[in-house]
Amino acid sequence: MYDLDKIRADFPILSREVNGKPLTYLDNGASAQKPQVVIDAITKAYAEEYSNVHRGLHFLSNLATEKYEAVRGIIARFLNAGDENTIVLNSGTTEGINLVAYGWAMPRFEAGDEIVLSVMEHHANIVPWHFLRERQGVVLKWVDTEADGSLDPQKVIDAIGPKTKLVAVTQCSNVLGTVVDVKAITHGAHSKGVPVLVDGSQGAVHMPVDVQDIGCDFYAITGHKLYGPSGSGAIYIKPERMAEMRPFIGGGDMIKEVSKEGIIYNDPPMKFEAGTPGIVQTIGLGVALEYMMELGMDNIAKHEGGLRDYAMQRLTGLNWINVQGQAPGKAAIFSFTMEGAAHAHDISTILDKKGVAVRAGHHCAGPLMDHLGVSATCRASFGLYNTKEEVDTLVDALELAHELFA
């Protein structure tokens, strides 16, 4: 049973007021709130258990190392990766994708080689590839979304040519909420001998993920969207891809031996984890993922699906609101504009006065904004603790904004 009242009670910030109104937090797509168990785990790790990992033989170092390394297994279970050694711990999706860009793609790609992207990628899955375009002459090939915001997997597959070396695609758009059939894309790309990177920053939040079933070569997640701390995350890397990679950052932990003459790298995944990591952040991420798995990813998806359907019904009932992207089966993420002169930032400001937190801007998705022909949108993004009553609060606040700007 999905006990929403109990779940909401697990998140202390949801009981506060903003501008004299109960907080309605609908900015989960940017960063989700943290349950008390995560907050407690972080506090305990700093107050009672803190030490550096992998470096000491004393009690606290061993304890911190044990808790930190256990998270690798938790993430592997969360993604059904099978082998925890396919999980590289890092600060989040941005670092994970840069690891692939610098450690795997840069030494392998030449001028004229291609990377296929969808137009709705987040900048984290665009900018590292632009670095390769600028520095090595790599060509970026873009696949547009359909009129409803969906992405046709076959069009992505058809964009793969003889010079394509990688397909990099999101599983769920942070702007449109579009859920992408990354399994079909991976199957088609692999049939042409092309690896696939999946940005799972949003996908892993809203639905069960099975990287073995998807078959992708790389799958990146970020902790702060998964109800865990910022500065935490991981990337799943297939063993055969990992064997092809060179380290991205050099320093302690990622080496076995260092001499004046040379170095011997540590075994993967440690080979790709340099320096003192985000120890406490990673421990907190493990607790957050266990919290989600205890609720059940299928249960979370079902709850958010109900919110999506109700929010779509309420928002489309406002004929002066233009919802960007209405793909079937989308996540509970709604980006919209308002008819008239109201800018997204103005709308967001009015909503904030009513205690409603939404995001306004381009959402780190410049190519998608250009494709949609808008400079900015408001985005209401729902999470596992949101309610239908909060949808109503959003609509009431939007009606006030419309009155003010009409």
Catalytic residues: 364
| Closest alpha carbon to 167 in 217, 210, 209 | 217
C-alpha 101/C-alpha 120 separation (Å) is: 19
C-alpha 273/C-alpha 250 separation (Å) is: 8
Half-sphere exposure for 329 (CA within 13 Å, toward CB): 9
Hey, what amino acid is at 320? Answer: W
Q: How many C-beta atoms lie closer than 10 Å to residue 405's C-beta?
A: 16
Sign of CA dihedral 123, 165, 202, 334: positive
Q: Would you call 23 exposed, middle or buried from its count of C-beta atoms within 10 A (0-12, 13-18, 19+)?
A: middle
Q: Output b/e per residue, 141-154; b: 16+ Cβ within 10 A.
A: eebebeeebbbbbe
Tokens of 257: 């031996």
C-alpha 303/C-alpha 301 separation (Å) is: 6
| Closest alpha carbon to 38 in 288, 222, 223, 290 | 288
Query: What is the chain's length?
Result: 406
Q: How many C-beta atoms lie closer than 10 Å to residue 390's C-beta?
A: 22
Q: Would you call 243 exposed, middle or buried from its count of C-beta atoms within 10 A (0-12, 13-18, 19+)?
A: exposed
